[in-house]
Amino acid sequence: MKKVVNEKLYDTENAEMFCENCFSNVGDFKHVYEALYKSSNGQFFIEFSGGPMSKYRVNTGQNEVSGSDGIRLITKDDAKEFMEEHGDTEGYVKAFGTPEIG
């Protein structure tokens, strides 16, 4: 997916993906797909898509909703939180380095 955000082009083909989160299948109205990426300039972003009953629904008219897809920019802290919830240890270390021992 390619998308211009704040006058910059973000392209999932040219970015590094770290993890994915998927709920249900594409035909389900509650379907959600999210993938965490980092662009070559270091900006973290999430590629997303969702059905008309998901958190990615958009109003398309009076009493009408639709699913949507796109790219949204996130902070490094938000990316860490997403990785902790949906990623694995190897991906976390690859994205952010080795965390402090607890």
pLDDT greater than 90 at residue 27: no
Say how far apart CA 60 and CA 67 lie, in whole Å. 10
Buried b (16+ CB within 10 A) or exposed e, 59-95: eeeeeeeebbebbeebeeeebbebbeebbeeeebeeb
Domain that holds residue 31: 2-96
What average pLDDT does the structure give for the chain?
Answer: 96
The answer to whether residue 102 sits within a structural domain is no
Q: What's the pLDDT at 15? A: 98
Residue 34, in any domain of the structure: yes
Q: Is residue 101 part of a domain?
A: no
Asked if residue 30 is part of any domain, the answer here is yes
Tens of pLDDT along 44-72? 999 999 999 999 999 999 999 999 999 99
Looking at residue 26, its pLDDT comes to 84
Identity (one letter) of the amino acid at 18?
F
CA distance 41 to 10: 10
Question: What is the number of domains present in the chain?
Answer: 1
pTM for this predicted structure: 0.91
